[in-house]
Amino acid sequence: MLNSIRKHKENIRNELRTHLFGKQGLRIRRSVDIENVIVQQEQVQSAVRFKDAYVLQEQIGEGAHSVVRKCYKIPKQRSTKSLMPKSIQVFAVKCFRTDDPEIVNTIIQTFNLQRQLQDIPQVCRTYDLFIDQQTKHHYQVIEYCDSPNLEQVYRNLTLRQKQDTIKQLAQIIAQIHARGISHRDLKPENILIQTEPNLQIKLIDFGVSKRFKYRDTFTEMWTATGTILYQAPEVFLGGGYDEKVDIWSIGIILFQLLCSTLPFYAETISETIEQITSPDPQFQYSKEFLKLNQVQRDLIKRLLKPHPHQRLSAEEIPLHPWFDQENYVDVSSDDMILAQDIMIGERTMSNQIGTEITEQQFQNLMDSLEWGRRIHFIQ
């Protein structure tokens, strides 16, 4: 009897395997949450290959495990004269070739996570995933964005544009974190930007993104991944980490925008990691950092706290006075004047600023002002 039941279960598994994979490969159009063992497939078509639905075009980029090319969707009603009518739909496609099951699973997980962020306009959309077990060629069809990345243009941005960039980035990350997902590879190359008519950014490359929360259950992340120059110290120290690694990366990007250099950089990887994990970060003594005004320095230091729980959350970042257009007028802002008055009474700002107000005193004052009362800090 038991043998009969086992045989029946095995037959069911084989039928499912044949149905899902077959000889032509697997096409996934909706979420397949391998990580949380949740399958929400709305359409699986084993008979459809990538080449049946899209036409590959020129290469437009390259990643660690994939090549990015432009592609066109083949219309259902094709003219005999041309495969590319005027109303052709243009997409980008990440092309992988691997038979490593771990990499294939990562591709599927990435597709799944991005599908859960489809309603966020500032996140690059993903449309189709083709897993071909026979040829080992896999294709993830994504939104085509004809915009430069932040690394290419940040030196030409105005201060106001830099403020808008960081503010939008924090708002996007706040939405992603609210859904229990951490990007884990925030850097200028993964931020597309357009400045006209209004500045808008779009976040791309969720290849190492990870779910850290499912419903009310939090899970620590352990894998050392991302780009070293933008990685948080806890990634290297072991013991697990949470979504605050994204906040650290925002701090690195902000430093780069304002100082035109990176806060942590050495000739070797080990020396760079040593700088990042130092309990007393040396960037705060650099000439580039000291040239910034106190409001700018205050925000950077709040993002680059060595202890993750002391960093601002993504929701808190836009509340900082640096983003307030009315109040932010370099060192003569209203908050600065108020802080000055509290510290030195009737003395003039020009004689006292930078001499009697220490960095710690200024940070305490910022916490006591209206902005500080709006959010809660854990020291």
pLDDT value at 25 more than 70: no
111 by DSSP, 3-state: which?
A: helix
CA 41, 45, 50 angle in degrees (round to 5)? Answer: 110
Partners of 201 in the beta sheet? 193
**In the structure, what pLDDT confidence band is assigned to residue 85 with cuts at 50, 70 and 90?**
low
Token code pair at residue 154? 């940040």
Instruction: State the Cα torsion 190-195-199-204 to the nearest 10°.
Output: -20
Catalytic residue, chosen from 128, 185, 242, 335, is: 185
- Residue 146 bears catalytic tag: no
Of the two residues 184 and 46, the one the predictor is more confident about is 184
Amino acid at residue number 149: N
98 by DSSP, 3-state: which?
A: coil
Amino acid at residue number 156: N
Domain 10-143 class in CATH? alpha beta
Domain range list for the chain: 10-143, 150-319
What is the average pLDDT across 14-32? 44
Of the two residues 40 and 5, the one the predictor is more confident about is 5
**CB neighbour list of residue 176: distance below 8 Å, 6 or more residues apart:** 117, 120, 123, 182, 183
Instruction: State the Cα torsion 89-94-100-101 to the nearest 10°.
Output: -50
Amino acid at residue number 143: E
Whole-number Å distance between alpha carbons of 240 and 176:
20
pLDDT value at 180 more than 70: yes
CB atoms within 10 A of CB 83: 12
**CB neighbour list of residue 54: distance below 8 Å, 6 or more residues apart:** 71, 72, 73, 74, 91, 93, 139, 141
> DSSP alpha helices (H): ranges in the chain?
2-20, 50-53, 101-115, 150-153, 159-178, 233-237, 244-259, 269-276, 287-290, 294-303, 334-344, 349-352, 359-368, 370-374
CA 263 to chain centre: 19
CATH of domain 150-319: 1.10.510.10
Residues 88-140 have pLDDT tens digits of 889 999 999 998 998 899 899 999 999 999 999 999 999 999 999 888 999 99
Residues 326-378 have pLDDT tens digits of 444 444 344 544 544 444 343 333 343 344 456 666 666 666 665 555 554 44
> DSSP alpha helices (H): ranges in 27-139?
50-53, 101-115
**In the structure, what pLDDT confidence band is assigned to residue 214 with cuts at 50, 70 and 90?**
confident
DSSP 298: H
What is the per-residue pLDDT for 6?
54
**Residue 98 in contact with residue 104, Cβ under 8 Å?**
yes
**Residue 284 in contact with residue 257, Cβ under 8 Å?**
no
Whole-number Å distance between alpha carbons of 181 and 47:
33
Token code pair at residue 75? 């219309």
Judged by average pLDDT, the poorest of 5-9, 17-21, 47-51 is 17-21
Whole-number Å distance between alpha carbons of 145 and 58:
14
**CB neighbour list of residue 156: distance below 8 Å, 6 or more residues apart:** none
What pTM does this model have?
0.76
CA 340, 375, 243 angle in degrees (round to 5)? Answer: 120
Whole-number Å distance between alpha carbons of 289 and 293:
9
